[in-house]
Structure 1
């Protein structure tokens, strides 16, 4: 019976070789992966989070122009998967105060010019001017009046606290020398002010879209005995108060057949801005400006088509995202993709770009780094071998020579224990031959 013959002397050296050194491969790839992960982490660190799916806007009283516009915004944003919550208010001043108060939970709001004053509004920015908000001053009198100063001693409805109507009315009254004690000032607006004027409970009413409905104003235009005040000094007012604009209702604009009005009527109108906190996501900024274009971009009696929204700065700094939008339009992804998909792709690119820029070129370096790591281990032994050979060439005592040769034997033992990939076996055996050469020569 034949017995198999074991050949340990032949098999044992082969255990020193492997197809690949996984240890060296790991230590070669790990730094590249680590740098890539740092790049991805840095991108996430400086990138805004995904845009929220819910926004809150502070608008105005029920039925006001501010509230009606907010409803239109809500429908447009809903088409893109964003829910707009509408929070009613008394008007522009309350809207501004809510935007300035972090605890209010408000993200955006309509604010007319002249509201800021000395308030610290540095945390707010504008997405653009969105429309003019004309001030309509209706009065009851036997004959037309031409100056606001003629309202001294009258009963005046100037709007509630927190409304832009009240702020503008008080400014104009003060400019005409009418102080609170010089007239009876009533906190009435909208429908309440309209009926008070019709029922002769007040002599004049200041109305604006932030606290009154278009229906209220139309009803007063056609009520006998009630007149729409013509701001004949509108040019002077607009120069004194830069946030006020002069608008003109042309003769016959209401009714050509009856020629109503019988002459041009000058109005004063602050510009309303869409104001947001500086935490607003850039993607939502674009979406809101798009909605503003759809809502406010059409021609009306008091504006030309495409006049609004406009990148005009008044009391609020125009946001960088708004500037970019007005200059070059929406970001590329948002032009050709639905909002939700563009947002997803945009965030994916944050991960993909560091991988593309760091990982792929880094992986191309892996073979060279792996080769350098293996060869450096062999070259390290060559450096030790050269130093021993130089020692043997020098004049050594017998004891020193024996010690050097002993060190050479130790090196050969350690080299024989070294694990090397098969592709580097030729260099491994050349090293062993050189060790034997040095021993035999000296």
Structure 2
């Protein structure tokens, strides 16, 4: 949880970005041994930071670097066992985390490398989690992170928040990183938990720091999105930690103060050119926040907002979300056509997202055979245990198999040309055929 703060502080002390990460890992390795014997200290983060600084001194000694940098480090450090003086300076480390983000998003790095490195160092995400966020293989992310570290080390990039005239070059990447960190926290890609609120809260804190550092419309848009989305967190889990979907959430539990903060930030998010990428998403979140129920939500407005978002930043995930909104606004049949178009292009084929939405739409259309296949495949692809439990619950709620189902997508009944009946059909009165005699129009589950 504190790795980004420790790495940031050690980078400031040593001036060596790669060394700081190694020192932090060495401190954690020492803690695994020491704390098992002596117990967890009262200030674990302070203990790790002090240990990391000691390791830094050892490294400089081994290198024979008895220069001014070594003297400054040694002067501030009591080499005795850490005590009350090793308290953790949260405010100073907050600045270090922000500096760490801007260093990771240096223009020398490609945008993909910037985001991957920052998610790893600041967000504390594993390479597998980052790969899921990017929808690319784990090996690709590992290579990006390794190359990024080598590039920063070779260029001797200073560890500091850039001056105002340099910030705008890196700000877009920093905003995207904070957004992805929050996304991982609000809907964990793997593990046992549905959410990782500690990760999401860290992203919100960083967004607030960015607003103070650079009060631009799109920064306010990101903060608004994060606040409005996090407002639903208290209602997303039941007492046993099981997921509660939007339809079933008790909206009285939503955090009204977060909604107020989010809407206030959204007011500041509009520029002369209108809302940006994050501002549009915040407007969608606001539609949910102000509605008294799912049925009372302004779904036509959400569809329009997703259309605008798709024109601004085309993405299959945005198209998928728009299809969900279309299903709520006009029905599942129109939405299924949008989903099938995404599927035909082969997009999102390796994730459970497309399968989950398609399974829901097919269920609502009464096409249970196809729905069952989609839900089963979604469960196989889902790497988060809590989310997989929701999918399996949907699968278990389908009608029992081994019944006959008339499928709208098949050819019409050869006797009466009826089609589009949906659900289970016993007979076709127009021609007298029963389902077991209609080869082209009926299918056994």
TM-score (norm 1): 0.24
Decide which structure has greater strand share.
1
TM-score (norm 2): 0.23
Decide which structure has greater helix share.
2
